[in-house]
Amino acid sequence: MQELLLILHLFLFCYWLGGDIGVFYSSGFAADASLGIEARMTAAKIMLALDIVPRVCAALMLTVGGLLSEYSGISHPAWQLAAIIALAPLWAGMELIMHFKHDTPLGQGLAKFDNPFKIALMVVCVVSVFWSFSTGHLAAAPWVGYKILVFAFIIFCSLMINKTVGPYIAGIQKIAAGQINDAENIAMAVSLRQVKWAVVGIWAGLALAAILGVLKPGG
């Protein structure tokens, strides 16, 4: 089981980082006002199709990592282990519904719940790590705590993207409708520039998490 979880963990890392890079790369073409509307629509379709890959990988990562930590000497009480296991289908299910049913009442309702859910998860990650350090629960593998804090930072970056990506999404909708003006093109470009630091922050966080997983500092 440990080997299977480790392989899944590696796959999630690869597809999360690779998928996210693909999403951001194609997003630049969708925002390029010098391209024709059809080319921009094609880039937008590619971007939106790829976007679900890193989102689902992110939703599964914490559960897989939590189960793997059992093999590093970190035991979880039954209720906590149940919560860790339940998180993956709950979060991934939300992401899939918001992606494929975004224009339905259910999809729109979940979209409103997305930020509060991520804020709560980020707080839980940070609080649990500091509690675990203070009680010595992570003494056998402190690097696991560091990785969870990195994950919390990645969630923060995701929240910052959600906060500033609105004008870009509005521009995509205008492109899909076949009409977009100069002001909307400028707003798209500005929005894309504003989210860039948070996107790079996610990439850096994933790289740091991989380094911590390999070096296992303090372990």
**Residues 4-42: tens digit of each pLDDT:** 999 999 999 999 999 999 999 999 999 999 999 999 999
If you search the block for the tokens 């494929």, which residue do you land on?
100
Q: Report the C-alpha gap between 130 and 152 in whole angstroms.
A: 12
Q: Which amino acid is at 117?
A: F
Tens digit of each residue's pLDDT, the chain (219 residues): 889 999 999 999 999 999 999 999 999 999 999 999 999 999 999 999 999 999 999 999 999 999 999 888 888 889 999 999 999 999 999 999 999 998 899 999 999 999 999 999 999 999 999 999 999 988 889 999 999 999 999 999 999 999 999 999 999 989 988 889 999 999 999 999 999 999 999 999 999 999 999 999 987
Distances (CA, A) of 9 to 49, 69, 105, 175: 22, 12, 33, 37
The owner of tokens 């970190």 is 74
Cα–Cα nearest to 54, from 17, 107, 10: 17
Provide the token pair at 38: 């059809």
**In terms of DSSP H, where are the helices of 136-181?**
142-164, 166-176
The CB-side HSE value for 17 (13 A sphere, CA atoms) comes to: 15
CB 72 within 8 A of CB 137: no
Say what the pLDDT of residue 178 is: 82
Is residue 101 classed as helix, strand or coil in its secondary structure? coil
pTM of the predicted protein model: 0.94
